[in-house]
Structure 1
Amino acid sequence: MSEQQEYARESSSSSQDREHEMTIAQILSDENHKVNRSLGKRLSHLNSIKLTPRVNGKIPDINNATLDHERLSERLATYGLAELRVEGDGNCQFRALADQLFRNPDYHKHVRKEVVKQLKHFQKLYESYVPMDYKTYLKYMKRSGEWGDHVTLQATADRFAAKICLLTSFKDNCLIEIVPKEKSPSKELWLSFWSEVHYNSLYGTDDLPGRITKRKHWLF
């Protein structure tokens, strides 16, 4: 059985959950991705670079981290953007992605599960970017609290057919784009990235949600 067939078989076994997921995702995407497309228009003058997937780099020292945070804050203010701040518990990338996909950071476990499935069943797409035993890498990424990296961002883009846009604290690269490898993106997800430290979900200042939707039991 091919990797694609095995993936399809496992996916069909959870068809009820998937049906619920897609129903809610569709309702939210109609409203949420109109907002996200407006961010793309607002920042269209910025030069973006395509992402090369990689695992996490070295955490900056306190001085560099402070400068990075100040740089990111200035960019948010300059472009009229605001962060929905998610918990810094090691799941921040998945929490921010869950907010962009489902309007709720608490869906992070579901997003992580889907990303790990993608990494497992399409190993050939990602293994060259992982400088360790790939099975060990997957074992780490299954764990709640394990930091997401640029490889998991690429897997997210591929799994959810999403273009992921990162407004970063990098000195030379303000905007990074991650696009699906084999599909045309059907949605845009916007995150802020305080380099190697934290991710948040990104909105226009006037569109920042005032409350978080109650989570659904079927995602856990």
Structure 2
Amino acid sequence: MWNGAQNGTHSVGESSSSTSLSSQQDIEDDRMIAAVLSEEYAKLDGAVGRRLSSLASIPHVPRINTFIPDFNDASLDHQRLLQRLNIYGLYEVKFRALSEQMYKSPEYHKHVRKDIVKQLKDYRTLYEGYVPMKYKRYYKKMAKSGEWGDHITLQAAADKFAAKICLLTSFRDTCFIEIIPRSQAPKQELWLSFWSEVHYNSLYEIRDAPPHPKPKKKHWLF
């Protein structure tokens, strides 16, 4: 998919040049923002939450991931996310993010997935309105190992585990998203990075990141 998208952008010189200039301006703007934020947070220390506690979040709207970015957009988004991780001194553990955050281990991912799917099934009225397909098909899809999670499953996880889920994103205009449980006060915080429409990772301060072997295959949200 990436190679095809990349070849397509080089077939039209004028369009490619315009896109390149726009992308370069985006990068320069992000660098300026990064410099300001770096100064603002240079004196902060402690857990991830304390590093990011002053960031303004936007209201969370559960949704599925319907748009997959092309190669250029995905590359720019990833670079933006890496810059933000660097600014805040954060490290990503790159698989089975919720299991890793909750249990400090990826090995509970099947248990986490099962609980989230049960939440989706038991409280259908809370989530059905956000799903643009037959709801039974949706939660059966989410029950499959290796299936990509989305913002709806994150809301279900927040509700099920009484957790405030905090996302440091690659979105240009939305750095930080908070997902709050709907019917109870949060009892824990889970910190994830979100490379827009690609995947979620578990976040730690660099000095606190647990050692993990590289995964044998890709696992996205669960």
Q: Once superposed, what is the RMSD of the aligned Cα atoms? A: 1.2
Q: Count residues in correspondence.
A: 168
Separation (CA, whole Å) in 2 of partners of 1:166 and 1:140? 23
Q: What's the counterpart of residue 101 of structure 2?
A: 100
Q: Is residue 2:169 matched to residue 1:168?
A: yes
The structural deviation recorded for 1:50 is 2.4
Q: Is residue 2:132 matched to residue 1:149?
A: no
**2:85 is paired with a residue of what secondary structure?**
helix
The structural deviation recorded for 1:211 is 4.2
The structural deviation recorded for 1:39 is 1.5
AA aligned opposite 1:166: L
Separation (CA, whole Å) in 1 of partners of 2:66 and 2:166? 19
The structural deviation recorded for 1:69 is 0.3
Separation (CA, whole Å) in 1 of partners of 2:195 and 2:128? 26
List per-residue Cα deviations over 1:129-188 (Å, max 9, x = no partner): 111111111111111121111000000000000000000000000000000000100000
Q: What's the counterpart of residue 28 of structure 1?
A: none
Separation (CA, whole Å) in 2 of partners of 1:50 and 1:39? 20
AA aligned opposite 2:140: K
Q: What's the counterpart of residue 42 of structure 1?
A: 51
Q: Is residue 2:65 matched to residue 1:56?
A: yes
The structure 1 segments of at least 4 consecutive aligned residues displaced by more than 3 Å after TM superposition are: none
AA aligned opposite 1:208: A
AA aligned opposite 1:65: A
Separation (CA, whole Å) in 1 of partners of 2:203 and 2:90? 7
Using the size of structure 1 for normalisation, the TM-score is 0.74
Q: Is residue 2:64 matched to residue 1:68?
A: no
Task: Name the % identity.
Answer: 62
The structural deviation recorded for 1:38 is 2.3
| Counterpart mapping for 1:86-165 below 5 A | 86=95, 95-165=96-166
The structural deviation recorded for 1:42 is 1.2
AA aligned opposite 1:147: W
| Counterpart mapping for 1:15-30 below 5 A | none
The structural deviation recorded for 1:125 is 0.6
The structural deviation recorded for 1:106 is 2.3
List per-residue Cα deviations over 1:29-62 (Å, max 9, x = no partner): xxxxxxxx82212112211112100011211000
**1:182 is paired with a residue of what secondary structure?**
coil
**2:194 is paired with a residue of what secondary structure?**
strand
**1:154 is paired with a residue of what secondary structure?**
helix
Separation (CA, whole Å) in 2 of partners of 1:203 and 1:77? 12
**2:72 is paired with a residue of what secondary structure?**
helix
The structural deviation recorded for 1:210 is 2.0
Separation (CA, whole Å) in 1 of partners of 2:116 and 2:160? 7
Separation (CA, whole Å) in 1 of partners of 2:199 and 2:129? 25
Q: 1:78 aligns with which of 78, 82, 87?
A: 87
Separation (CA, whole Å) in 2 of partners of 1:100 and 1:43? 17
**2:47 is paired with a residue of what secondary structure?**
helix
Q: What's the counterpart of residue 28 of structure 2?
A: none
Structure number with higher relative contact order (C-alpha < 8 Å, ≥ 6 residues apart):
1
